[in-house]
Amino acid sequence: MLKPVVWFCLRRSLGLQDLMEAAKVVFIKAAAEEMEAQGKKVNISALSVLTGMHRKGIVKIYRDRETSDHSTKFASRVIGQWRHDPDFLTKNGRPRVLSYGGPDSEFADLVGRVSTDLYQKGILYDLERIGAVVRTSRGVKLLTSAYRPKHDPVEGFRLMARDAEHLLTAIEENVFSEKRELPHFHGTVIYDNISVEDFSKIRKWLFAQSLRFQKKVDNFLSRYDLDIHPQEKSEGGKTVVLGIFSRM
């Protein structure tokens, strides 16, 4: 499990000490989140017991830990809401150009449906930063169908970490599941003697097929998302994740 991380560190000139310092921060943050999820009180003594770290080393890290949630997941959700919510689509089912600026604007309404704690200016800036939207004379226009952190390694690897967490959890549940059927699909196709001449053709085919399947799943799941299609008698909160990647 650690070998891919170590390989990454070696490629990026990061040593063991760098990894250890980062691990300390992650251990404390993960332990605190786990305790909070279980409704337990988080304190230095409890974190010390759970992580095996000395109290003195925990104090500064825990008190200075990042408490604000990053905008990545919210920007992604705003794009998804925009692409599937009938209130923000044209008659042909395409994302409409939305007015923006004031608290009663269409873009403010869109952001508010994702979370009432978000500021439309911050989300708009983030979407513009990654090239997902553009401001026109008629309003804000959506240019992309997904959140893509271009030229932003911090965001790119943050998304990688999120996907790796989902993959690890899925495999863990498969391994330790007591059910007859595995609860999650986990499959990989590997061929290690492909001709160089066919590489480009295969790359384009894989990308097109993956994109087509992702869009199909996206459209299917969006029908059941209660943020997009509210149902008074339905209880929400369940998460469904599908991850696809190719490497050549």
pLDDT in tens, 17-46: 999 988 998 899 899 989 998 999 888 999
- 107 located within any domain: yes
In the 8-state DSSP scheme, what is residue 63?
Answer: H
Q: Give me the domain span that covers residue 58.
A: 3-63
Name the phi and psi angles at 98, rounded to 5.
-110, 140
- Asked whether residue 176 falls in the same domain as residue 198, the answer is no
Note the pLDDT tens digit of each residue in 98-146: 999 888 999 999 999 988 777 888 889 888 887 889 999 999 999 876 6
User: Shortest CA distance to 79 belongs to which of 119, 124, 122?
Assistant: 124
Backbone phi and psi for residue 185, each to the nearest 5 degrees, phi listed first: -85, 135
Looking at the whole model, is its pTM more than 0.85? no
Structural domain count, the chain = 4
Residues 161 and 209 placed together within one structural domain of the fold = no
